[in-house]
Amino acid sequence: MQILFSFLLVFLGGGLGSMLRFGLFLMMRPVSAKFPWATLIANCLACFVLGIVMAWHLSGQMSDQRRMLLGTGFCGGLSTFSTFIAENWGLCEAGQTGVAAVNVLASLALCAGCLFLGLKTGF
């Protein structure tokens, strides 16, 4: 029964994260024609939230159930790494390798920084 509840928590969190990711896509569509802003924002936000979840869990302030809901589910649904790869592939295919390189470097640097901030902030 416990494993079924865990799946339910991941399912619920993943759905909420995916809905937020889609909302970001809709909001950022007007400015995302030349750069995938929504994906960058979703990845940074997911890394920040995951950092907080990790900090709370490591300090004993978060139960395994909440970690599954927020870390595995919500952050997993929100983070768009597969989309990140596909968008960069498309940029390269379109001859925009410079834009793809900036996106890769910015995403790696900013998401690592956001994870660090989340770990250190721990709200």
**pLDDT value of position 40:** 94
CB 78 within 8 A of CB 18: yes
> CA 13 → CA 29, 67, 104, 106, distances in Å?
24, 10, 27, 27
Question: How many CB atoms are located within 10 Å of the residue 9 CB?
Answer: 20
**What is the DSSP secondary structure assignment for residue 34, as one 8-state letter?**
S
Run of H or E including 79: none
- What integer is the mean pLDDT of 97-106? 98
Residue 28, domain extent: 2-121
**pLDDT value of position 82:** 87
- Total-model pTM: 0.82
If one counts the domains in the chain, the total is 1
- The token duo for 18 is 């995916």
